[in-house]
Amino acid sequence: MTGDINTKNIKEEEEMKVTLFNCSPRKDGNTFEALKIIKTELEKESILTEIVQLGCENIYGCEACGTCKKTQSGFCKIEKDPVNNAIKKIYESEGFIIGSPTYFGSITPQAKAFIDRTGYANRAAGTKLKRKVAAGITIARRAGEVNALNQINNLFMLSQCIIPCSTYWNIAIGREKGAILNDKEGVETFINLAENMAWILKKIYL
């Protein structure tokens, strides 16, 4: 979806897809549990989903080299990590979600590097993320997750994405594996987020 293209009915014979990125180094931790909740709800709405694990990868930060501005390819010069593959998955999806645990009131280094390079590359190519439906979620043991969520949202706002909302900030509380499942309000927030995301996608594409 680019520019002001009329997307009505273009998905009548093709399913919509949302790609979910887990930027936690703990592959099966609470961020993954949160993404699974959203994945389940989106699939109930007949939306294809895929969870991509990025947090266990050695992701390099932006080098500020300006190559993406010169090539305008929509991709990063760095090819020794999975970021370009992740960017490609975003371009091929109608929506995407970035999830991160909270480290010292911030997102993980992997999430920050992913966001910076995706942001620069897509903007250099004419803002290829424009009007994609995008959301962030963050998990914390106790506090700082709202600050982390705002960091993720910066990518969406500066890329002109459409951001679905929920009944609270897209956060949950938990430390040990699976602990967020005891956070009733957090779980409900993720369910409502998925429902609203599905509603927006259908309004745009069906």
7 within domain boundaries: no
| Local confidence band at 14 (pLDDT 50, 70, 90 cut-offs) | low
Helical ranges in the chain per DSSP H: 30-44, 67-71, 83-91, 109-124, 145-158, 184-205
Which residues form the domain of 105?
17-205
CATH number, domain of 198, equals 3.40.50.360
Q: Distance (Å, rounded) from C-alpha 5 to C-alpha 90?
A: 18
What does the block give as tokens for 111? 């999430």
26 within domain boundaries: yes
Q: Distance (Å, rounded) from C-alpha 45 to C-alpha 145?
A: 28
Per DSSP bridges, beta strands 95-101 and 171-173 are unpaired
Please list, in sequence order, all residues whose beta carbon lies within 8 angstroms of the beta carbon of residue 182, skipping any fewer than 6 positions away.
Answer: 174
Please list, in sequence order, all residues whose beta carbon lies within 8 angstroms of the beta carbon of residue 194, skipping any fewer than 6 positions away.
Answer: 37, 38, 39, 40, 41, 42, 45
88 within domain boundaries: yes
pTM metric for this prediction: 0.93
Torsion over CA: 36, 171, 184, 143 (sign):
positive
5 within domain boundaries: no
Domain count, the chain: 1
pLDDT, tens only, 60-72? 999 999 999 999 9
pLDDT, tens only, 68-104? 999 999 999 999 999 999 999 999 999 999 999 999 9
| Local confidence band at 7 (pLDDT 50, 70, 90 cut-offs) | very low
11 within domain boundaries: no
- What pLDDT is stored for residue 54 in this prediction? 98
Task: Identify residue 188 by its one-letter amino acid code.
Answer: E
User: Residue 121 carries which DSSP code?
Assistant: H
126 within domain boundaries: yes
